[in-house]
Amino acid sequence: MSDATTMPVTLTVNGTEHRIEVEPRVTLLDALREVLGLTGTKKGCDRGECGACTVHADGRRINACMTLAVMAEGTAITTIEGLAPHPAQQAFIDNDGFQCGYCTPGQLMSAAACVAEGHTGSDAEIREWMSGNICRCGAYAQIVAAVRQTARAAEGGAQGATSSATSSATSSATSSATSSATSSATSSATSSATSSATSGATSGAARGATPHAALGGPGAGREVGLDA
């Protein structure tokens, strides 16, 4: 139960709902680190300048140090703990996109958002849209390379999904056409066989119904079923 200095807040973080009690002045950053124990999000400048505290709110990157916890209620918050697995993580390893690692969680969150937003048309564009994240070790060239690799991986995945969907649709259409053609052929053959059998049976019955009367046999001149 909240007292005079705190208030209840419900935060949805990495898909899990948390009901906490915080003072109205508590930032999302402090709530994540001090209350929920999610220390992957780092505190750097604490005034929105370094990007170390970057998280996603409904898929949009924000500085957690500049957002009050109560403002995040009703939004889906994703921290570095909830990002994995993401191709940006492997890309940072492949390109040595970190040194001390302190800014890396924020860099990764921004990199994932940068790719999702489509701001990877050139190295200059990547640098512009990653400029809110400071790396005190100066690994900027490697970070740009990592974002570029992540964008290629995302593009390849999208193309693969499109190709798979197209192949599946083509296969389904081909199967449907084959099934339809087979059904049509079967129906035609059955109809033809039935017609032929019916015609033969009718012709045979007609021939078998008239031998005595038509050929002048013993029954000629009599009405069927009547005594002579």
Instruction: Please report, rounded to a whole number, the percentage of residues in the chain having pLDDT higher than 90.
Output: 66
- CA–CA gap between residue 23 and residue 69 (Å, rounded): 9
Convert the pLDDT of each residue in 156-209 to its tens digit. Answer: 876 655 555 555 655 555 556 556 655 665 566 556 655 555 555 445 444 444
d(CA 163, CA 165): 5
Q: What local confidence, expressed as pLDDT, does residue 95 receive?
A: 98
Q: Which domains does the chain have, with CATH numbers?
A: 1-83 (3.10.20.30), 84-160 (1.10.150.120)
pLDDT at position 224 is 33
Where would I find the H helices in the chain? 28-30, 80-83, 87-94, 104-117, 123-129, 140-208, 211-215
Please check whether residue 111 is in contact with residue 161, taking contact to mean a CB–CB distance below 8 angstroms: no
Per the structure block, which two tokens stand in for 33?
Answer: 């680190």
Q: What is the pLDDT along the chain (228 residues), one digit of tens a residue?
A: 556 699 999 999 999 999 999 999 999 999 999 999 999 999 999 999 999 999 999 999 999 999 999 999 999 999 999 998 999 999 999 999 999 999 999 999 999 999 999 999 999 999 999 999 999 999 999 999 999 999 999 998 766 555 555 556 555 555 565 566 556 655 665 566 555 555 554 454 444 444 433 333 433 333 333 333
Please tell me the predicted confidence (pLDDT) of residue 137: 97
**How far apart, in whole angstroms, are the C-alpha atoms of residue 204 and residue 100?**
99
pLDDT at 21: 97
Task: Return the SS3 of 12.
Answer: strand
* Closest listed residue to residue 62, CA positions, set 40, 42, 44, 77: 77
